[in-house]
Structure 1
Amino acid sequence: MLGLLIDRDLKLLRFMGQWQFMQVAQCARYLGCSEQVARRRLRALKQLGLVTVVVPFADMKQVYWVTTEGIKLVRGVVPANSPKLGPKLSQFEHDRILVDIAVDFAVANQDYDIYGEIEMRRVDAEAVAQNESTRFAIKRWQAARQVNVFPDMSAVKNGRRFVIEYEHTQKDRARLQSLMSAYANSSEVAAIKYYASPAAFPQLSRVYEHLLPNLPHVGGKPKVQIEQYEEGSE
């Protein structure tokens, strides 16, 4: 099978395996090619059983995700308790826009290693199985106990970890405040960027302003930054 693949295919499979799904235009931007070329490579990957495709809504474009065979090819094994990939209709817009943000970051910062939540959970699960320290889980308080949380995305360079979160809808204020504080106070995270849709940004701003006086600083700026995200603005 490897003889039928090119480096670009493997690069795309590794990246796709970190997200619930990707669309053709996103794949093309990530690879730096035309949508026609991206569609042709995705068609080849589908024929090999490495990706699958659906049209989730009648008026939507196709979405692709990596199959179990594709994950096995790029990871060597299929992780135990690995999540089911593919579009989840209840969070479709969040996941779609998150990939847009991830692709834009990856293209602009090619010297960073990009991790989606799926990949972060896999890496940490392997560490736990080998009695090693986890790399990505952040502890936060919930109902008087500490729980592990994972961001939407991490970017790592020279051992420094940059975290990105995307808020598509309003979260419970107390939960959002707890999460933001956990990231800000984590010694394992160098900086955090929150993006939010126009609908979610007002609440995010209120929580941020409340925490701002006590936020640690990095390079003269608050360790946590926020920005309203509108499609086409990046």
Structure 2
Amino acid sequence: MGQSKERNSNEKSGFLKKLIIVLAVAIVVVFAVFYVIYYRFSYQADKLAKETARIYAFGDGGEMADMIAPGYVKKFEDSSKVLSVSDIQDIYINKFRAYTDEQVGDIDTIECKVTDIQAVSNIEDVQQQFADNGVKGVSQYRSVEADWIVTGKDGGEVTVHVQECMLKCDDGWYVDYVRMPDEIDSMSTPVDSGDADSEETTEAETTE
């Protein structure tokens, strides 16, 4: 009788150990899947969005040009007779800083809060368009909505809502374009922005 109870106890103990192991493995798998999905879908987009905000606040057109696919930069600059990609990015950055200067003065800090990330639904349909613009092997495309919270050195604060699109191509992850609110886009700069407005971008349809 005592041996039977001991055997039952050992069987229950063994079952509990197996159950704990199975649950532990399941938890590890869930976390691994979550990490892979986050890294594939969100991590690079979030990273690029934050770096773009930093450059707009404290960097220059050269830094921003480095965030754009090399194939596009080469194709554009081979055909452009006036402005380089760096020059064009300086125009966009200067518009942003002119706006924030009016609102809060000199920038002290900028915080990028990503509010939404969407993936395209028709990447295969636009791959050739990207390739025609020098960007080969586009396999992923993200549309990111973000709030840039800018704080001035005097303590003032303004929030700028930005849409940024980015892509993964053979060369890595790069920015396609940054869309500012109309009140910033419409601001004039010392350089005629006619050439900047002619910059080609390929927008893909995003999923809901």
TM-score by length of 2: 0.27
**Structure with the larger helix share:** 2
Higher relative contact order (CA 8 A, sep 6+): 2
TM-score by length of 1: 0.25
Larger Rg: 2
